[in-house]
Amino acid sequence: MREKTVYMFPGQGAQSVGMRAKLGDMTGEQRGLFATADRILGFPLTSLIDQGPEEELTRTSNTQPALLAMEIAFSRALHSLGYRADIVMGHSLGEYAALVDAGVIDFEEALRLVRHRGELMEKAVVTTPGKMAAVIGAERARLEDILQMCSGDGIIEITNFNSPVQVVLSGEVAPIDKAIALIHQERVGKALELRVSTPFHSSLMKPVADAFQRYLADIDFKKPQVEFIDNVTGLHEKDPERIKEKLVLQLSHPVQWEKSVNTALQSGATTWIECGPGTILVGLVKRIDPEKTLLSGEKLIHGATK
């Protein structure tokens, strides 16, 4: 089987004020991406990325296009260094950058999509506030028992299967708070509340998914030019209409990251490059298969610009 390179695109949580510095010496093409984002969105996203304030950058409707622009700028930089992806996959929001890199949608269309997606999510918080928490080192059966104990207080679900030792909980505030307390009390693992106010990927997001489906209906998707692995099934998908359907499902269904990684491994993946700021996904893949070559896009770019 031929050895393959994977581009991994991170989701929300990878953002930070000043993160364009992670791109090193930008080319005219990269600067043009940010200029395009400012034009399409109708406000200076680039200034927000460079200068903040942080509370504005971390607004979901701003974070999503900001990270999309960053991740495509990373992929263009890696292309200029001679790297090419045989497989692309993204974690939650990162799927949109993966689809741009695979030629399924163009950058401008993806900007509009993620901006609208973020706006729908922000509106959902008003009527459906919630929380998310990462759980590390918990035996799955014991964690399921705790979730059952908390379910009487409201909706609580596992919504990210990130690695054999990490999952993410999402749901209403009361059951998430109770679960965090019980996980520590029962010494089941370590629970860490995430800095979000929206229960991403839970069934509470079904109204957002319905509205987003209507928005997606008339947008043209093309067949991926490289292998694409989706979040919802963790399997290869090449049909444009099925990709659209899965982007809708992704909003209210769990992210199957561990399964996605295993699918790529079975397809011959040997080199994994995090195509965006940080090394969150490199860390997750390391938990699944530490023997593979795991590379930070940021380090590759800065190594080339020193």
- DSSP label at 169? E
Radius of gyration of the chain (CA): 19
CA dihedral 230, 231, 234, 236 (to 10 degrees): 0
Q: At what angle do helices 94-101 and 240-250 cross, to 10 degrees?
A: 170
189 contacts: CB under 8 Å, gap ≥ 6? 135, 136, 137, 138, 139, 143, 183
Q: Are 45 and 34 in contact (CB under 8 A)?
A: yes
Under DSSP, is residue 88 helix (H, G, I), strand (E, B) or coil? strand
As a whole number of angstroms, the distance between CA 245 and CA 155 comes to: 24
Task: Report, in this order, helix, strand and coil percent for the chain, each rounded to 5.
Answer: 50, 15, 30
- DSSP label at 255? B
150: amino acid identity, one letter: C
Does 252 qualify as catalytic in the annotation?
Answer: no
Give me the sign of the Cα torsion angle 144, 147, 149, 151: negative
User: Catalytic pick from 75, 91, 170, 201?
Assistant: 201
As a whole number of angstroms, the distance between CA 62 and CA 54 comes to: 11
CA dihedral 18, 75, 58, 283 (to 10 degrees): -100
As a whole number of angstroms, the distance between CA 89 and CA 269 comes to: 12
User: Catalytic pick from 92, 202, 252, 296?
Assistant: 92
Does 201 qualify as catalytic in the annotation?
Answer: yes
As a whole number of angstroms, the distance between CA 49 and CA 63 comes to: 9
Active site residues: 92, 201
